[in-house]
Amino acid sequence: GKQWYQRRVRGVALMRFVSGRSRLPNDIADVSQRFQIMKTDKSKDGLPTSQTCFFQLRLPDYSSEIIMEERLRYAIHNCRSIDADNYMLARNVDNNSQGSFEDGII
């Protein structure tokens, strides 16, 4: 019960972080790109990043699995500026709109 739910919620949060979308497809078959994990040359034990256009999670080297989990959890839960859904919605409504950080659209 509870462990399954927690794993599921963490998986959804990771997919949002990597895809940059606030809403995910109902069916995994609707995901057009393969999920990739890439190694980066950033400093050891740094924060992970994502390349949402390529559906990539980018990880530096970590000194332990616990530190990797902590950094990944922190990045996922504190990165709220990426929302491709709202960007595309605003873009479709007004083609002249560039969007801004204040609008929550980047």
DSSP the chain: -HHHHHHHHHHHHHHHHHH--SS--SSGGG--S--EEEE--SPTT---EEETTTTEEEE---S-HHHHHHHHHHHHHH--S--HHHHHHHHHH-TT----TTTT--
Is 53 considered catalytic here? yes
Q: Among the options 31, 53, 88, 106, which is catalytic?
A: 53
Residues taking part in catalysis? 53
